[in-house]
Amino acid sequence: MSLHIIILAAGQGKRMHTSKPKVLHTLGGKSMLERVVDVASQLNADGIYVVYGHGGEQVRGALPFLPVQWVLQKEQLGTGHAVAQVLPLLPEEGQVLVLSADVPLIQAQTLKQLIALCHGENNLGILQAVFDNPFGLGRILHDEKGSICAIVEEKDANEQQRKIKEIYSGICCAKIPDLRRWLPKLRIDNAQGEHYLTEIIALAAMEGTPIASFNIVEPSEIFGVNDLLQLQEAERIWQHRFAVKLMLSGVRLADAARIDIRGELACGKDVFIDINAVFEGHVVIGDGCVIEPNCLLRNVTLGAFCVIHANSVLDGCEIGDKCHIGPFSRLRPGTTLADRCKIGNFVETKNASLGENSKASHLSYLGDTLIGKDVNIGAGTITCNYDGANKHQTTIEDGVFVGSDTQLIAPVTVGKNATIGAGSTIRKNVPAGELTIMEVKQKVINGWSRPKKN
């Protein structure tokens, strides 16, 4: 039987109090809508449809790469009306799974179990849970035989119904022919004057259509986001879930509550991550690495047995084995380090490549720089790579020793095994194997007096 997934993403999200559409707010570095589409993509569906409305062009413009069909709901007339907009695109037979873009913590395995309920005799399956505090959620009603007969929304429930703790998650699975029959019958005589999708449960019960329910094991999966407080709560749930996976795979975390993964993070064996580390984009950490406190790694690949000392920022870098970086280092996009390199405190790199065993230990800027192996960059050295209009290359060959407080005016090449004396300003190519210094005669002004404040 074919499977078609409808993701409801048309809500305005007034309670967010932001100009950004609710479904574009991020969870773990990805928008909530992306998170739900990622899960839907694991279910081998024949089609995924996103119903959008409020801020629709903004949503589509931000996520043009999603593997979905976009369906516009011109007027937001309720969840039932939203699903009805997709019906003309569906085949005559098959299943429909309805998800919500503001319920981003749902997992594929849970949905697979719900879908399985709708094979065979059951025509309609709903995902439910039991909450001690079900405020704001639809309650599940049963008839005298104990069978599900309806769902009543919070705003429409009476005092007795509001005491019910069995709630509807907003996620259901139904047969396409049934939806074609039920959706035109939805009424708007409710508190919000909308076509509720939940009314199909009562319609199914009146017809005698079998209804099955699946009680979710982990209620956090159906946590809905309606405001920024709930978004933060969902973020913590998501981060804890990822932290647990890391620890169970052998990664040691100093504190599982103080790590933020805002993308994808893959770690080797015997990795230790200290507090307040943030990982963005795609990050790969090799075996035996140590990440000290307060580091940010964005789109970084680390080799094995590297140490990233505290308060360092790595962005768009490829790092070899046994490198030491920081503390207080900033490696910008285009930086590559071969094995056993050292980038020390207050060193910044950009489009810089360092060969094996090379080091810049203190207070340097290396931009548009190609550095060979076994090179020492002295403290205070900078490459002057920008002339106000264009960037220029500095090449430092193997075995070079650059003394402290040196300025390399690009384009310039320093030959193999050359030595540059401290305090030099290098404007011309430096010959290999030679000592190059900049001589400035030291001058003493006798009798000079330092100015004094009045």
Residues marked as catalytic: 362
Contact 238, 105 (CB under 8 A): yes
CB-based burial of residue 387 (10 Å sphere; 0-12 exposed, 13-18 middle, 19+ buried)? exposed
Cα 15 from Cα 55, distance rounded (Å): 15
Q: Return all residues near 134 (Cβ < 8 A) that are at least 6 apart.
A: 162, 164, 165, 166, 167
What are 5's strand-pairing partners? 48, 97
Cα 425 from Cα 384, distance rounded (Å): 10
Cα 427 from Cα 24, distance rounded (Å): 51
Which residue from 60, 127, 69 is spatially nearest to 98, judged by alpha carbons? 127
* Residue 178 CB neighbour total at 10 angstroms: 17
CB-based burial of residue 434 (10 Å sphere; 0-12 exposed, 13-18 middle, 19+ buried)? exposed
Cα 30 from Cα 450, distance rounded (Å): 59
Cα 422 from Cα 401, distance rounded (Å): 10
Among all chains, which residue has been given the structure tokens 């030491």? 324
- Helical residues (DSSP H) of 28-171, grouped into ranges: 32-40, 56-62, 79-84, 108-117
Q: Which two tokens stand for residue 117?
A: 């309920």
